[in-house]
Amino acid sequence: MSSEGYPFLKGHGTENDFVLLPDPDGTVHGALDPDRVRALCDRRAGIGGDGVLRIIRAAAIGEPGAGQDAEWFMDYRNSDGSVSEMCGNGVRVFGRHLAQRGLVDPARPVPVATRAGVKVLTFADGAVDGEITVDMGGPTVLGETKVSVGDRAWPALHVDMGNPHAVAFVDDLADAGLLLDPPAHDPAVYPHGVNVEFVVRRGPGHVALRVHERGSGETRSCGTGACAVMVATALADGAARDTAYRIDLPGGTLRITWTGDDRILMTGPAVVVAEGRTSL
């Protein structure tokens, strides 16, 4: 393909995988229409991914409030082409790419603008390849709801991490079945759809989950979902603040802390595994 097409990278955080599209000044991809996102994320005919991260300067995205406190904006799209407010694994991969390209200094906090506000990234030891902690801001707990798969239903906690989540505790992760379709939910509670997490306890301060993501189906990991699960578990444990949990996902482990001043800190890996050019 040599000089044809445009540049892309492929990366993942705990196997939640993304196609990265560098478009610093917003001149390469225009509005990035849903058909192109679907083509890029297609696992047989495309590059494959749970979503697309467009890497664009906040000043170039043209969304309200985007350019105020961060140079870079994470323009996130689900694999079905829909737009989402936030992606917790994606923002670490986004930061990794910026650091590897020398576009930010990993020795300093790195603010990244998203549709859910500015998230600040910290690189362990200030190293380009260090584990990344994201200050996700405060969670919003919106009460009890219900989700179901087939004829099985569970109570769930509605937690907003900038994007919507329903957290359901189950006896066994297999109880959710194959998760080929979105779990049923109350459309009055989630008019724009929902990410659903199924959780089991593994021990003190330790849970495991499966997730069905809005716009992407079942994925190997969801960073915002892990944060929502941590919040639901900590509340259930009566241990809401100044507490940390280990969250196991099919694709790896995240560490989530709820600080005394109501911020959720998510720590985990992020890797870029390939780059090239594509005409998709």
Ligand X SMILES: N[C@@H](CCC[C@H](N)C(=O)O)C(=O)O
Q: Binding site membership: which residues?
A: 16, 78, 88-89, 163, 195, 213-214, 223-224
Stretch that binds ligand X, among 95-103, 117-125, 202-210, 217-225 (CB under 6 A): 217-225
Q: Is 227 a catalytic residue?
A: no
Could you give the maximum distance between any two Cα atoms of the chain, in Å? 57
CA–CA dist 198, 153 (Å, integer): 11
122 binds ligand X (CB under 6 A): no
- Which of 42, 116, 78, 89 minimizes the C-alpha distance to 217? 78
Least separation in angstroms between CB 195 and ligand X: 5
Which distant-in-sequence residues (6+ apart) come within 8 Å of 228 by Cβ?
139, 157, 159, 161, 165, 167, 195, 197
The SS3 of residue 72 is: strand
Which residues contribute to the annotated binding site for substrate?
16, 78, 88-89, 163, 195, 213-214, 223-224
Token pair 């890996």 in the structure block, residue? 269
Binding residue (CB under 6 A) for ligand X from 224, 245, 264, 268: 224
H/E stretch holding 182: none
CA–CA dist 95, 24 (Å, integer): 14
Which positions from 42 to 81 touch ligand X by CB under 6 A, shown as an x/- string? ---------x--------------------------x---
Binding residue (CB under 6 A) for ligand X from 114, 133, 163, 257: 163
What's phi and psi for 227, nearest 5 deg? -65, -45
Least separation in angstroms between CB 245 and ligand X: 16
Stretch that binds ligand X, among 138-146, 179-187, 211-219, 231-239 (CB under 6 A): 211-219
Please say which residue, 22 or 223, places its beta carbon nearer to ligand X: 223
Measured between alpha carbons, how far apart are the two ends of the chain, in Å? 11
Which distant-in-sequence residues (6+ apart) come within 8 Å of 30 by Cβ?
none
Q: Is 41 a catalytic residue?
A: no
The SS3 of residue 39 is: helix
11 binds ligand X (CB under 6 A): no
Residues with catalytic function? 87, 222
- Residues engaged in binding ligand X (CB under 6 A): 16, 51, 78, 84, 87-90, 163, 195, 213-216, 219, 222-224
